Structure formats: structure tokens, C-alpha cells
Structure 1
Amino acid sequence: MIGLSPQNLSTTARKAFANAGWVFFDRIFRMATALLVGVWSARYLGPAQFGLLNFANVFPTVLTSLAGLGLANILITEIVRKDTFSEEQLLGTGFILRLVAGVVSLLIITVSVRILYSDQPVLQAMILFTSSVLVCQSVDVIDLHFQSRVKSRLSVIAKSIAFVLSTGLRVYFLANQFSLLAFSSIVFVEATLSALILIVIYNREDGQHIRQWRFSKPLAIRLLQMAWPIMISDFFIFLYMRSDQFLLKELASDLELGKYTAALRLSEVWYFIATAITSSFYPSIVKLKNQDEAAFQRAFRKLLALLSFISILIAVFISFTAPFLTQLLYGQQYSGADRILIIHIWSAVFVFTGVGSSYWFILHNKQRILLLKTVAGAVLNIVLNLVLVPDYGAVGASIATLLAYMMSSYLMNYFVKEARPVFFAQSVAFVDAFKINFIRSLLKRDE
């Protein structure tokens, strides 16, 4: 699909697909495990407690963008370009920046929950456990290093080991009927294990060790100047991805929140595919952009077409099987979750193409447009939730999310002049995705 010359186009594409395959394996493994353990948890806890357990993830999820500082794609880009700063400086500076931001984020959450939920000590403790990931994610700069070298398998190995161990702990808690607080602590265990194993694997690579990392103040300033629009944009993305859950708890009930969360588990679980495919091709796209603009545009269109094809296929499949899936997995106590899922799953189409097109804005240094689009989507989502949730509950929240994603990821590209090429590329991709020779063209060499 994407390469640096006609001669190595297919080789680069196959390497990228193989890299994405490791990410697919990780997520599919987690999905399969969720059928056995995650659903067991949902049935054991019931909709109300299950909703609270997932609500504890809202605070850290919203502040993930602050803790990450929007540096992920920028660090990958800089590592691939190998411009002014060494990789050791990039990794060391990125690690320190994200570590400080993670600690600050955790402190913000600690103060917030003590004010908002002063009469709910258990919920406070649950949120603090789940928020531990904000500090641990600083080590994910190692994952970015592996992505830049198209070696996602090493990250997958680290995170899979941590996931298996934490899943074993979750099974033990279920079998022995542990409390809700115990289940929330598993997030802390998994995040810590993942970070430690990533460090061990990185240090075992030839010529690499975290002791070689160096912090550079000029680089830190440069990274923050480049990343702040993305950080704010990511904040609003997570805000309108999770504001619906907060409003459901406040304007509806824990029962509606539980059903909505159960539907989200089957809807948002697919989003990793967009990230896996796009991140696997991104290093090649960066190089291609600097060498051949026409080839870059063709590759970008093909990437969007691939993402469109996969997301629409998923949305159609889930729409037809939603009643069967929700009944099989969650049982009668989650009655109505299928209607929520049927609406929400179509958000995936705009999430997928939005993820793919976000790289275009970064490569063209137009991060502020991403920020504008995301803020507009977040505001629209919150307004629609305020209007729809009181009367329609979780179904209204699903409608609000779908419309917000459609506006932010797709339609706004037409109304912002500088982003209009992306709108037309996305529109063409929706058509290209269903051409008969589409799949064959993905790996076809340029003539």
C-alpha cells in the first residue's frame, strides 16, 4: 500500500500489515478473554455496580490527554526523521515530560474526587486506583520507540504478559467474590506490570538501555510547542467520549449507565483496528511525504478507503447481531443494550476515518485545526446529551455520540477551508472502499 519507491512498495506494506497483525493479536486476545472474564464480571456485579466500576475510569480517561501531552505521534515522527536530536534525547525528554504530567494529573484527580464524592470513600479509592495509569503511561515512550521501528510485537508481548497476569487475578477475585474496590485495583496492577515488562524488554535490545536516555530542555520546549494543540484536542476527544457516561449517571441512573457501558464494550472494542493500521503505516507515510507528494496522496486515500471498508463492515455485522450478542453475553438484566449498541456502533465509521485523517493534519503542521474540530465535537456532544439523556437515557447518549463524531471527524472538514482536501479524500474513500478491485489494489505495485 505505502512504500518509498515502486520497487519496495509491497514489501513495506507487508511489513506494516505484519506489524499491525501483532496489535490485532493483542486486541483479539483481549476480546476473547473479555467474553469469558469481562462478561463474567458484568453478570457478577450487575448493571448498577458494573456501571460504577466503569465510571471509575472516566476521570483518568479524560485526563489521559494531559498526562500524554499529545506527544505520541510527534515523538514517532521525530524518531523516524532523525533530525536534530538523538533518539535517546527524544525518549528521555518525552519520558520526563509525561512522568511530570502524569503526577500532576493524578493530583488533580485526587483533589477533585475528594470534593465531588466526599461522602463516597469507596468510589474515591476506586478512581484513584484506576488513575494510576496516568503515571505509568510515561513508560509508553518505549512503545513509541517500537512503533517507529515497526516492532509492535515487542510492545504486544509486554502488555500481553501483564494482561494475562492481571486477568488471572481478576478470575481469582471473581471465584472468591471479592468487593468492587478489589476489582478496580486490577487496573493499577496491570499498568504497573506492563510498564516494568516494557522496560525489561527495551533494556534487552542490543545497544539500548534507559540509562542512556537524556533530558533536553530545548527539545522539551520544542515538543511542547508542537504538541499543545494535540494535547488539548485529545482532551476534548476523551471529554466527549466519556461525558456521556458522566451525564448518564447524573441525569439518568446507574442502571442506564450500566447498560450503556455494556454496549460500549462491544462498540468501542473495535477502535483499536484503526489505530493499529494507521500507526503501522505511519512511519512509511512520514518518509513518503518528504519524497513524493503524489504517491503520498494516493497512499493516504488508500489508507482511508481501507479504514472505511473495515469500519462499515463491522457496523453492519454488529447491527444485525446486536440482539443476539447482548442477550448471549450479558443476559436479560441488560435488556435494551442492543438498541444502544445498534446506534453507537455506527460511530466507528467516523472514528476510523478520523484516526486516519488526523495524521494528515500533523504532517501538514495543522494541529490547530484538529483542536478546532475536536472542541466543536465535544461541545455538540455535551449539548446533545443534555437535551436527549433526560428523556431517552442511554439511547439518547448513543445518538448524541454518533452525531458528534460525524460532525467533528467528517463534516467539519468541509466547512474549514484548509481541511477540505481531507473531506474530499474521506468522501472518495467511502466510495473506493466498495470497489471490486479495492483489496487487490492495496498491495499492488505502482507502475
Structure 2
Amino acid sequence: MIELSPQKLSATARKAFANAGWVFFDRIFRMATALLVGVWSARYLGPSQFGLLNFANVFPTVLMSLAGLGLANILITEIVRKGEYAENQLLGTAFILRLIAGAVSLFVIAVTIRLLYSDQPVLQAMVLFTSSVLVCQSVDVIDLHFQSRVKSRLSVVAKSVAFALSTLLRVYFLANHFSLLAFSSVVFVEATLSALILIFIYNREEGQHILHWRFNRALAIRLLRLSWPLMISEFFIFIYMRSDQFMLKELATDLELGKFSAALRLSEVWYFIATAITSSFYPTIVALKTQNEEAFQRAFRKLLSLLASISILIAVFITFSSSFLVNLLYGQQYTGVDNILVIHIWSAVFVFIGVGSSYWFILHDRQRLLLLKTIAGATVNILLNLILIPRYGAIGTSIATLLAQMMSAYFMNYFIKEARPVFFAQSAALVDVVKLTFLKDLLQRSR
């Protein structure tokens, strides 16, 4: 059994916050850079072409969960617990599984776009470029290894360098008026660079080498048995988070798609905070679960309260500043995006507490409940989109997204008896926000 003294726990918490800090740095760097280059791109391309560029990302995004096989949290848990399999077997097996899944996913996309858009060769090429990430993401098992060691700074270095270089390429394309196809190719460049730099850092910093990885057939079967509900669940999450853009293109216009895509850039950009905080504390939470259930429940409640507080602060800020931000960043040609943004940003509250609570299901071996919850959310989202998009366009899509997230991440936990502890913990966290509990605790600790 893992023993965590108060001093050890405090040191571990500080390490987790430092780890989260590196992830924050990466995302803030990306946000600041993407804000400048992304807005420049949006203005240069215009709403219609900008919407088409974002549409090319829909296909790989939807299949990313299948290519990843839902192995991320499972692999981190297995590494932290140090079970019967060596780490080189865990990493090697996960890498091969993801590589095969990524290649199959890329093939499926290639066939699909060939059938659906046979008269649009440029769009086909764009989708193939953006879908290259499905193969390159197999190398992200190195990132998961760093996360399990609470050493995300190494992944941040690799991905930040790749992002910086690809951003310079985007700027070059903008300055020299390159075509839409060139901009989609940058995704391929960034994914390839990121994979190569991750491998280089792993080989150098860890004193190991990917050639030492080994594939284990029995382990592969075990990992797939544990992860398949998460894989399907993540697939449905992407379905109802990205089907909006597909349905807007088919049921509305490219203009509505472009406006919705612009709103998403200001809304979903905050989601990384939930992932950074939760993933940084996950190794500690696994240890607490092993040692003391009561301590685990307290830590879980505090995590949800923190996530709820941050998400609501973000939603309030964006609600009151949406018009100013949209006019400043996008200009008059994106009129109406602020109304879309005001609705969509409140989905972040349920995304945050949903991300935070997802680990509860994994640690209690309730992955199948996550699948059920996600299917419910996807169903609600698609049905509401069919009703609302023809009449309200992008605003209708934002309403559908908000209600679907609310159902999947929160209310379904009440309807499923086994998940009610999560519903009550989430509700208590929301009450904590109203009572300013997190702020009061922070002030008391600072004295």
C-alpha cells in the first residue's frame, strides 16, 4: 500500500501544480500565438473559406478517439500502479496498438471523403493533410509516460517547438498569399515535428530508447478490454462536439459554419485548463484511492470545486465581454458571433466538471457508464441540431451543445444509480462556487 504523509502529500501537490503550470504555459503560448495568427487567417480567408478550413479538421477530430483507443488514462494508471508488466512493454504495446488504429482510421477517412466529395479534390487533399495526426498521435504514448512521472515540461518543450515552427510557416503562407490547401498542410508538418522531437527528448532525457519497447500480445488484449468503453465514449464525445460543424455545413450555410467556427475558437480554447489541472493531479488521486477512500473523496470534491469555480469565472467574463472581443478580433464581417459565443461558453461549466469526474469512473472500473452517458449526450445533441439548425443556424447549434453537455456530464449521473455519488459531488461543487468556498479557503491559507 502507498503511504502518503502530510509532508509527502504537500510536496506531491506542489509538484502537481508545477506540472500543471508547464501545461498552462504551453496552452497560453498557443492561445496568444493562435489569437494573432488565427485572427489574421480568419480575416485573410473570410468566413466561407475559414469555415471550410475548419471543416477539414472535423474528420480527424471525430476519429481521434478511435485512433487513440481510449488508452490515455488507462496507460497512466497502469504505469503509476506498477503492476505485473514492465513499462517498456506498456509503452511498446500501446504504441503499436495506436499506430495500427491510426493507420486504419486514416484509410477510412480517405475512402469516405473520396465517396462524399469526389468533385472536390482540394477538399480531399486538405482532409488527408489534417488527418495525418491520426498516425502521428501514436507517439503520444511518450507524453503519457511523462504525465505519469509528473514531468509534462518535457512534452511541453517538444510540442511548443513544433507549434512555433509550424506557426512561422503559417505566417509565411499568410504573408505570401498561399492557397487554402497550403494552410491545411501545416497540420501535417506540426504533427510530424512534434512526434520526432518527443522521440528525441525521450531517448535523451530518460536514458531509454524506443527501440527497447516491446509488444506483448496478452497485455494488448488486457488494455483493449479495459479501454474500449472509453474509446467509444470519447468517439461519441467528439461526435456531439464536432457533428455541429458537419450539420451546419449540410443544413445551413458556409457563412453560419464560419461564424460558429470563430465562436468555438474563443470558447473551446479554455478547455485545456480542465485537462491540465485534472491530469496533473491524477497520479496523486490514484495514490489516495489506494491508501484512503475518505481522503480520496475529499480530494475529489476539492478538485471539482476548483474546476467549477474556474469555469464559471470564465463563462461570466466571456458573457460580458463577448461583443468587445469579437469586434476587436474578427471585425464587422463576423457580426453575430458574439451571440453564438455567449451561449456556447456556458458549456464549459459542464465540460470542466465532466473532465474532473471522468477519473472517478476509471478508478471505480465504471468505464461503461461513461459510454452510456456520452451516447445520451450525443443523441440529445444530434436531435436538437436537426430541430434548431434549420431555424436558428449557429445559435441553434450552440443551444444544442449546451443542453447536450448538461445532460451528459451532469444530469445523467443522477439518472444512473451507480453514478449518483458523482452527481452529488458535482452539485456540492457548484454550491461551493455560490458560497465562494474555494476563495475563502485560499484566503485562509494565505494568512
Range class of TM-score, shorter chain:
over 0.9
Distance 1:94 1:318 in 2: 39
Q: Alpha-carbon deviation of 1:444?
A: 8.8
Q: Corresponding residue for 1:257?
A: 257
Q: Which runs of 5+ in 1 are unaligned?
A: none
Report the CA distance shift for 1:80/1:439 in structure 2 as closer, same or farther (over 3 A): farther
Paired residue for 1:322? 322
Residues 74 and 411 (structure 1), Cα distance of their counterparts in 2 relative to 1, 3 Å cut: same
- Partner AA of 1:296 in structure 2: F
Partner of 2:426: 426
Q: Within the alignment, does 1:154 sit opposite 2:154 as a pair?
A: yes
SS in 2 for 1:365: coil
User: Is contact 1:92-1:214 (8 Å) kept?
Assistant: yes
Q: Which residue of 1 aligns with 2:394?
A: 394
What is the identity, as a one-letter code, of the residue corresponding to 1:174?
L
Number of matched residues?
Answer: 443
**Aligned pair 1:133/2:138, yes or no?**
no
* In structure 2, C-alpha distance between the alignment counterparts of 1:442 and 1:61, rounded to whole Å: 38
Q: Which residue of 2 aligns with 1:367?
A: 367
> Secondary structure of 1:433's partner?
helix
The corresponding residue for 2:385 is 385
d(CA) in 1 for partners of 2:99, 2:312: 38
Separation in 2, partners of 1:34, 1:171: 11
Deviation at 1:435, TM superposition (A): 3.8
Q: Do the aligned residues in 2 keep the contact of 1:351 with 1:409 (CA within 8 Å)?
A: yes
Aligned to 1:267: 267
Whether the 8 Å contact between 2:19 and 2:150 is mirrored in structure 1 is: yes
Structure 1 pair 207/440, CA: closer, same or farther in 2 (3 Å)? farther
Contact 1:103 1:134 in 2 (8 A): yes
1:436 Cα deviation after fit: 4.4
User: Residue 309 of structure 1 corresponds to which residue in structure 2?
Assistant: 309
Shift of 1:205: 1.8
How many angstroms does 1:434 deviate by? 4.4
Counterpart secondary structure, 2:393:
helix
What's 2:415 paired with? 415
1:151-177: per-residue Cα shift (whole Å, max 9, x none)?
A: 000000000000000000000000000
Whole-angstrom CA distance in 2 between matches of 1:128 and 1:378: 26
* Conservation of the 8 A alpha-carbon contact between 1:13 and 1:443: no
Deviation, structure 1 residue 35: 2.0
Q: Per the alignment, in what secondary structure is the counterpart of residue 214 of structure 1?
A: coil
Give the 5 Å matches for 1:190-269: 190-269=190-269
Q: Name stretches of at least 5 consecutive residues in structure 2 with no aligned partner.
A: none
Query: CA shift at 1:113, angstroms?
Result: 0.1
- Deviation digits for residues 130-184 of structure 1 (CA, Å, limit 9, x no counterpart): 0000000000000000000000000000000000000000000000000000000
Q: Separation in 2 of the partners of 1:188 and 1:47?
A: 23
Is 1:109 the counterpart of 2:109? The answer is yes
Distance 1:108 1:444 in 2: 55
Percent identical across equivalent pairs?
Answer: 80
Paired residue type of 2:175: A
2:309–2:438: 8 Å Cα contact kept in structure 1?
no
- What corresponds to 1:55 in structure 2? 55
Give matches, 1:34-183, under 5 Å.
Answer: 34-183=34-183
In structure 1, what is the Cα distance between the partners aligned to 2:30 and 2:222? 37
Structure 1 match to 2:30: 30
**Residue in 1 aligned with 2:8?**
8
Contact 1:302 1:442 in 2 (8 A): no
- Distance in 1 (CA, whole Å) between partners of 2:398 and 2:134 is 27
1:9 positional shift: 2.6
- By how many angstroms is 1:433 displaced? 3.0
1:368, 1:101 → 2: CA distance?
Answer: 21
Q: 1:433-444 to 2 correspondence within 5 Å? A: 433-439=433-439, 441=441
* Residue identity in the other structure for 1:65: S
Residue of structure 2 equivalent to 1:280: 280
Specify the code of the residue in structure 2 equivalent to 1:430. Answer: L
Is the 1:10–1:444 contact (alpha carbons within 8 Å) kept by the matching residues of 2? Answer: no
2:411 corresponds to which letter in structure 1?
Answer: L
Q: Which moved more, 1:31-40 or 1:147-156?
A: 31-40
Normalised to the residue count of structure 2, the TM-score between the two structures is 0.97
- Compute the displacement of 1:211 (Å): 1.1
Q: Does 1:341 align with 2:341?
A: yes
Distance 1:443 1:12 in 2: 22
| Aligned residue type for 2:364 | H
Listed one character per residue, the Cα deviations across residues 60-116 of structure 1 (whole Å, up to 9, x for unaligned) are: 000001100000000000000000101100000000000000000000000000000
Counterpart Cα distance in 2 of 1:205 and 1:399: 47
